[in-house]
Amino acid sequence: MPVRREVSHAEASSVIGAVIAELARRGAGAAVAVVDPHGELVGFMRTDGCPLASITNAINKAFTAAREGVESSEIGERSRTEGFPMTNFGDLRYTGWGGGVPLVLGGEVVGAVGVSGLPEEEDIELARRGAAVLAGAGDEEA
């Protein structure tokens, strides 16, 4: 039977913690979600000052990145350039906004992180920062 590695709650907490620490340093508010490889929620935090719509957006960005194994912004770009409507994915949780980044360990997508609440480029940068924390921890284990 195939066994698939999934992000643990401790790893999700580390990813979220890294993003939250940077948000605190900047004095900014956002939502941070970590999901498993299926796109289902493992951990979530909404900081003070986070716009309410960002709650669902962060979760959906992570969902998209986990399901497709690429950053959510790449899905959005494909949708725009190839004329492929987001609704063709068959799930309204798919989004093309940037800020969803896969969590990869040993070449395998084990989940994803989504950040929402700031300008898109900042969401992307913060999500990549969170993903790098897990990637770095995985390198040390190898």
Separation between Cα atoms, residue 55 and residue 46, nearest integer Å: 7
Structural domain boundaries, residue 33: 9-129
Cα(first)–Cα(last) distance of the chain, in Å?
24
pLDDT at residue 85, rounded to an integer: 85
pLDDT tens for 74-116 read 999 988 899 888 888 888 999 999 999 999 999 999 999 999 9
pLDDT at residue 89, rounded to an integer: 86
CATH of the domain at 68: 3.30.450.150
Task: Establish if 82 belongs to a structural domain.
Answer: yes
Number of compact structural domains in the chain: 1
What is the rounded average pLDDT of the residues 26-52?
Answer: 97
Task: Establish if 99 belongs to a structural domain.
Answer: yes
Task: Establish if 2 belongs to a structural domain.
Answer: no
Whether the Cβ atoms of residue 63 and residue 71 lie closer than 8 Å to each other: no
Report the percent of the chain where pLDDT is more than 90.
81
For the entire predicted model, the pTM comes to 0.93
Residues 6+ apart with CB under 8 A from 58: 30, 31, 32, 33, 44, 99, 114, 115, 116, 117
pLDDT at residue 90, rounded to an integer: 86
pLDDT at residue 138, rounded to an integer: 56
Separation between Cα atoms, residue 11 and residue 74, nearest integer Å: 25
pLDDT at residue 140, rounded to an integer: 47
pLDDT tens for 115-141 read 999 999 999 999 999 999 988 865 544
Locate the DSSP E strands across the chain. Answer: 31-35, 41-46, 100-105, 108-116
Task: Establish if 76 belongs to a structural domain.
Answer: yes
Task: Establish if 110 belongs to a structural domain.
Answer: yes
Count of other CB atoms within 10 angstroms of residue 107: 6
Task: Establish if 141 belongs to a structural domain.
Answer: no
Task: Establish if 140 belongs to a structural domain.
Answer: no
Task: Establish if 139 belongs to a structural domain.
Answer: no
